[in-house]
């Protein structure tokens, strides 16, 4: 009985406390404070659909695909069938090898099923999703493959081209400084098949001493924002050039020149004539053999250094395929000084 009474007493106390607190009344609310300052307005974002449609609309995509089908990059036979699977030929001879190189800085090894270049060979993931975001995998200046020192800066997006379109071999006097002779060990010897970036920049070829001085590196008329790789080869598409055909655009030429052909001022004709003279001399001295039908190649052997350097210049300018357009002053100096060296050469009896 004592325990029950004690519990009743506790419950009675709790009830009283509850009733006491519930009887307390809240006072009237005070006046409202002044409104705070407005926050700053944020910037309106770009409409996602508008940004995407700058490239990803049916008319634009189909036009680009049609232009790209005209490009030697889409064919693959030039490079993919021959060397596309080999890691030693990275990063340029297949879509897969180039993407590996761009993303990893190297290739993992040989591959078994190389394919030709396509849209996402050059274009990777978007970064800003704005209309100017072309998402190129690479656009920084390129360290030259031939000496691992020289920096090739083709300006902005044109640097993507320089990753592949550069010499892979140092000229003989750089490869063997001060040597009197040089061994050409293979019929494939030379600066490789796409040395355009070096010629545009005016570096990396055999600068044989002669009557014509070499212009300063990076002083070419065709190394600027207007006349860059992309400016001349990817301008507005028309007459089979420009756009994603990558064929040089005569329309682009005429933003600076008034010309009806790429043979502006007879430059290409002059370069072609000098290349023929150099070839004839190299064949006379036994450095080169072949014919117009089957092509020309060097004869493996050991030669005086200037003959090897002359061959390097000749085959490099031939395989540049611009016939002097890429850097008229530099190419003219290479050709004249090379010819002078060959004309002065006296074979041993």
**Lowest-pLDDT range, 123-132, 205-214, 283-292?**
123-132
Site of tokens 């490789």: 192
Of the chain, the percentage scoring pLDDT greater than 90 comes to 60
Average pLDDT, the chain: 88
180 confidence band (pLDDT: 50, 70, 90): very high
Of the chain, the percentage scoring pLDDT greater than 70 comes to 88
Residue with the bigger pLDDT between 79 and 257: it is 257
Task: Give the tokens for residue 228.
Answer: 């860059």
Residue 207 predicted with pLDDT over 60: yes
Structure confidence at residue 1 (pLDDT)? 46
Residue 48 predicted with pLDDT over 80: no
Task: Give the tokens for residue 252.
Answer: 């682009």
What is the DSSP pairing of strand 142-143 with strand 151-152? Answer: antiparallel
Residue 182 predicted with pLDDT over 70: yes
Rounded distance, CA 200 to CA 52, Å? 34
User: What average pLDDT does the segment 76-88 reach?
Assistant: 81
**Lowest-pLDDT range, 6-10, 57-61, 130-134, 281-285?**
6-10
Structure confidence at residue 199 (pLDDT)? 97
Task: Give the tokens for residue 121.
Answer: 């060979």
Task: Using alpha carbons, list the distances in angstroms from residue 102 to 43, 123, 124, 136.
Answer: 34, 11, 9, 10
The contacts of residue 122 (CB under 8 Å, 6+ apart) are 136, 137, 160
Structure confidence at residue 58 (pLDDT)? 82
* pTM (2 d.p.): 0.83
For 288, the 3-state DSSP assignment is: strand
Residue 130 predicted with pLDDT over 80: no
Residue with the bigger pLDDT between 12 and 58: it is 58
Structure confidence at residue 129 (pLDDT)? 74
Structure confidence at residue 288 (pLDDT)? 98
For the chain, how many residues are written? 349
Rounded distance, CA 70 to CA 116, Å? 14
Rounded distance, CA 274 to CA 282, Å? 12
For the segment 220-251, what is each residue's pLDDT rounded down to a tens digit? 989 987 888 999 999 899 888 999 999 999 98
For the segment 84-121, what is each residue's pLDDT rounded down to a tens digit? 888 888 689 999 999 999 999 988 899 998 999 999 89
Structure confidence at residue 144 (pLDDT)? 96
Residue 304 predicted with pLDDT over 80: yes
349 confidence band (pLDDT: 50, 70, 90): low
Structure confidence at residue 27 (pLDDT)? 65
């Amino acid at each position: 009985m004592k325990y029950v009474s004690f519990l009743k007493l506790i419950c009675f106390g709790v009830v009283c406390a509850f009733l006491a607190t519930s009887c307390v009344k809240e006072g009237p609310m005070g006046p409202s404070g002044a409104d705070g300052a407005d926050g700053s307005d944020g910037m309106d974002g770009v409409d996602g659909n508008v940004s995407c449609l700058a490239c990803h609309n049916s008319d634009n995509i189909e036009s680009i695909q049609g232009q790209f089908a005209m490009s030697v990059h889409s064919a693959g036979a030039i490079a993919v069938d021959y060397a596309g699977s080999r890691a030693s030929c990275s990063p340029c001879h297949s879509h897969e090898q180039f993407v590996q190189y761009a993303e990893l800085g190297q290739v993992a090894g040989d591959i078994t099923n190389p394919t030709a270049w396509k849209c996402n060979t050059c274009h990777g993931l978007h970064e800003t999703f704005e209309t100017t975001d072309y998402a190129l995998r690479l656009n920084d200046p390129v360290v030259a493959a031939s000496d691992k020192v020289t920096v090739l800066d083709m300006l902005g997006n044109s640097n993507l081209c320089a990753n592949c379109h550069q010499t892979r071999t140092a000229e003989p006097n750089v490869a063997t400084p001060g040597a009197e002779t040089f061994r050409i060990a293979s019929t494939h010897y030379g600066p490789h098949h796409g040395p355009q970036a070096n010629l545009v920049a005016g570096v990396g070829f055999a600068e044989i001493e002669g009557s014509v001085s070499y212009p300063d590196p990076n002083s070419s008329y065709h190394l600027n924002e207007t006349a860059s790789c992309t400016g001349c080869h990817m301008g507005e598409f028309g007459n089979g050039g420009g756009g994603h055909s990558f064929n040089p655009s005569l329309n682009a030429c005429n933003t600076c020149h008034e010309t009806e052909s790429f043979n502006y001022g007879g430059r290409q004709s002059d370069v072609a004539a000098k290349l023929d003279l150099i070839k004839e001399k190299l064949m006379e001295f036994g450095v080169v053999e072949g014919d117009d039908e089957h092509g020309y190649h060097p004869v493996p052997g050991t030669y005086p250094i200037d003959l090897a350097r002359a061959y390097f210049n000749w085959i490099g300018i031939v395989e540049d395929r611009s016939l002097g357009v890429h850097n008229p002053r530099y190419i003219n100096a290479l050709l004249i000084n090379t010819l002078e060296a060959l004309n002065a050469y006296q074979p041993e009896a």
